[in-house]
Structure 1
Amino acid sequence: MLVAFSVAPSGGSGEGDSVHAAVAAAVQVVRNSGLPNSTDSMFTTIEGEWDEVFDVIRRATEAVGAYGTRVSLVLKADIRPGHSGEITGKVERLERAIADANLD
């Protein structure tokens, strides 16, 4: 399965403070997990089996919790049993389709 998630603290001490330190803590948990992952400006995507992926997301959420009194968590999952390597495979197939269609 692939799960894209975004996690951020709220209720911290400074109104308008950047959340980069909290997000960095969450991403570090993901990277330390050893599971395939990718982070962009909006989401971190992680690939693995249900229990291992959601364990990592739980721990990342707990890491962010240290930066505020509340945590916001957004998830989107692609559950496709029997498939792996989709974290890069889906993008590779998209790029081939674009090239094959000669779209500019």
Structure 2
Amino acid sequence: MLVAFSVAPSGSHDDDGSVHDAVAAAVRIVRASGLPNHTDSMFTTIEGDWDEVFAVIKAATDAVGAWGPRVSLVLKADIRAGRTGELTGKVERLETALAEAAPSGATAAP
């Protein structure tokens, strides 16, 4: 399964409204898990089985709790039994489809 999640404290944060230190604590936990993962500006996506992915998300959420009295957690899951490598596989299939659908002489945008 793939789970994209965003976790952040609410109720307390830096003077400029940034939550990067709390998010960094969560991402450290994800990366230390050894599970395939990807972080972008909005979400961190983890790949693995149900129990291992949600154990990491729980630990990351608990870590963020140190930065405030409340924690906001957003999740989106793609549950597809028997599939692995989908963290990159889905994107590769999309890029292939875009390249194949490009009109003659045109190139796919970055």
Q: Which bracket does the TM-score occupy, shorter chain normalised? A: over 0.9
May I ask how many residue pairs the two structures share in their alignment? 104
TM-score (norm 1): 0.95
Q: Residue 26 of structure 1 aligns with which residue? A: 26
**Displacement after TM superposition at 1:17 (Å):** 2.5
Q: Which runs of 4+ in 1 moved over 6 A?
A: none
CA-based RMSD: 1.3
**Displacement after TM superposition at 1:77 (Å):** 0.1
Unaligned runs of 5+ in 2: none
Q: Residue 46 of structure 2 aligns with which residue? A: 46
**Displacement after TM superposition at 1:12 (Å):** 1.1
Letter in 2 for 1:65: G
Task: Render the CA deviation track for 1:28-73: whole Å, top value 9, x for unaligned.
Answer: 0000000000000000000000000000000000010000000000
CA distance in 1, matches of 2:56, 2:78: 16
**Displacement after TM superposition at 1:11 (Å):** 1.1
**Displacement after TM superposition at 1:15 (Å):** 5.9
Unaligned runs of 5+ in 1: none
The alignment partner of 1:21 has SS state of helix
Letter in 1 for 2:31: R
Q: Identity of paired residues, percent? A: 73
Letter in 2 for 1:77: A
User: Structure 1 residues 14, 28: CA separation in 2 closer, same or farther (over 3 Å shift)?
Assistant: closer
User: Structure 1 residues 22, 13: CA separation in 2 closer, same or farther (over 3 Å shift)?
Assistant: closer
CA distance in 1, matches of 2:91, 2:80: 16
Which one has a bigger Cα radius of gyration?
2
CA distance in 1, matches of 2:10, 2:16: 10
Letter in 2 for 1:100: E
**Displacement after TM superposition at 1:74 (Å):** 0.2
The alignment partner of 2:67 has SS state of coil
